Amino acid sequence: MKTNITVLGLFLLLWAAGIAEGKNSMVVTEPVESFAVMIDVVLPGTPEEVFEAITGDVSGWWTITSSVDPITLQVDAFPGGKFLETWYEEGTGYQHAVVTKVDYGRTLQFEGLKILAPEALTMTTNWSLNETENNQTIVTLEIHGVCPTGIGIPEIVESKWDYLLNGSLRPFLEAGGQQDVIMQNEQTASGDQASDKTFQFTIMAEISGSPNEVFDTATGDISGWWDHTFAENPKKLTVDPFPGGAFMEIFDDEGNGVRHAVVTAADRGKILRYEGPLGLAGNALFMVTTWTFAEMANNTTLVTVEVHASGEVEDGWAAVIEGVWEHFLNDGLKAYRQAGHE
C-alpha cells in the first residue's frame, strides 16, 4: 500500500469584479491538496468471481453504510449506473457513487463514495482485476481525489479500504459468499467475557440550519439534546469547540464529574473529532468519533457521524452504540433544532 499527496496550494486568492458597488472583491478558498492511494491485495477466486462479488448486491461484505440496516446495497455493473443504498421499500436511500467505467472481470470505476471521507471534495475509485495462479486474483485499487489539507483524508481512505478488502471482502470470498462470516475475523472470544475486537459505523442525518449553526449546537452546552449522562441531573454538559478541549460532564458545584472525551480536531461548520469512551468509561476501549457537516439545500446540513472503536468490546455493544447514536442525531440534535433551539 502507498499513499501519495500533492499540495495544490496553501492559500488560493481569487479576485472577482464586484457587482453591487462596482468594487473588486477577494474570495479566499480553503487550502486543498490532491491525493492518490494505491492498494494491492490478492483475493481468492477468479477475476470474474471477484467482479461478481463487488457488483450487484454487495450487502454481504460492504459494511460502511449511512443506515443501520439498509434493505438493499447495490452496485450497478454498467457505465452510468449507481452505487445505491436503499433504506425503505418506497426507494428512499442514499447514492454513494456513480459508475463511470465497466469491463467485466477486469475493471470497475466509480466516482463518489464520500461516505468513506465526507470532507473529500472529489474522489474516483478504480478497480483493476488480474488473474494469478492458484485460482486467485490480484486486485489493484487506485483512489484519486481532492481534499482540504491537513486533516488526514488519504490515511482515512486507505485504512477504510484496507478494512473493506481484507476484513470484509476477503472472508466473504473465502466463505463462498456467505454473509454471516464477514465479521469472524473480529471474533476472538465467546460468551459474556469482553475481548479485543473492533467495530465501526457511520450515521447520517439532515438537520435544519447552516453547517456553522449545527456545529454550534453540537458543541458548547449540549445539555438540551444529549440525554445519556452519568449523573441524573448534571450541572454542566459541554463539548469544547477547539483542539485540546474536552467533552465534560460536571456533576455538582464541587466540580466532581467525568471527562468523556478529548477534542482532537475542530473546524467550525466542517469537522469535529474527539477521542474517548463516552458512556463506556472504565473499559479498555479506544474510540474515535468524527462529525462532518455539509451544506444542503433549503438551509439544512447533512451531518455525518463516524465511529471507530477497538479494545474491550462485548458481543452486542456495536449495535447498541450505533442505536444510541441514531437516537442522538435524530431524536436529540435534529428534533432540538427543529423545535427552534440553537
* Span 92-122, pLDDT tens digits: 778 889 999 999 999 999 999 888 888 888 8
Range of the domain at 227: 194-338
Q: In angstroms, what CA-CA distances link 28 with 192, 259, 264, 268?
A: 55, 37, 25, 16
| Residue 23 to residue 16: CA distance in whole angstroms | 9
pLDDT digits (tens, 9 = 90+) for 168-216: 898 899 888 644 444 444 443 333 444 457 888 888 999 999 999 999 9
| Residue 7 to residue 31: CA distance in whole angstroms | 9
Cα–Cα nearest to 84, from 55, 121, 49: 55
Residues 48 and 179 in one domain: yes
Question: Is 20 within a domain?
Answer: no
Q: What is the CATH number of the domain that holds 96?
A: 3.30.530.20
CA 85 to chain centre: 15
Residue 96's SS3 state is strand
pLDDT digits (tens, 9 = 90+) for 41-63: 999 999 999 999 999 999 999 98
Number of H helices, E strands in the chain: 6, 19
Residues 90 and 56 in one domain: yes
Q: Which residue has the higher pLDDT, 89 or 147?
A: 147
The C-alpha cell at 48 is 470474474
Residues 170 and 257 in one domain: no
Q: What confidence score (pLDDT) does residue 193 get?
A: 42
pLDDT digits (tens, 9 = 90+) for 311-336: 878 878 888 888 899 999 999 999 99
Rg (CA), the chain: 22
HEC string for 203-270: EEEEEECCHHHHHHHHCEECCCCCCCCCCCCCCEEEECCCCCCEEEEECCCCCCEEEEEEEEEEECCC
Residues 134 and 256 in one domain: no
User: Which region, left, alpha or beta, applies to residue 276 given φ > 0 means left and ψ of -120 to 50 means alpha?
Assistant: left
The residue among 185, 220, 245 that closes a domain is 185
Residue 70's SS3 state is coil
Residue 25 has pLDDT above 90, yes or no: no
Residues 132 and 205 in one domain: no
Residues 48 and 181 in one domain: yes
Question: Is 17 within a domain?
Answer: no
Residues 176 and 39 in one domain: yes
User: Which region, left, alpha or beta, applies to residue 282 given φ > 0 means left and ψ of -120 to 50 means alpha?
Assistant: left
| Residue 261 to residue 197: CA distance in whole angstroms | 20
- For the chain, what is the domain count? 2
The C-alpha cell at 235 is 450541572
Residues 136 and 206 in one domain: no
273 backbone dihedrals φ, ψ, rounded to 5°:
-135, 135
Residues 177 and 229 in one domain: no
Q: What value does the mean pLDDT take over residues 259-273? A: 91
Question: Is 22 within a domain?
Answer: no
pTM: 0.51
The residue among 185, 215, 232 that closes a domain is 185
pLDDT digits (tens, 9 = 90+) for 227-240: 988 888 899 999 99
Residues 265 and 232 in one domain: yes
Residues 252 and 205 in one domain: yes
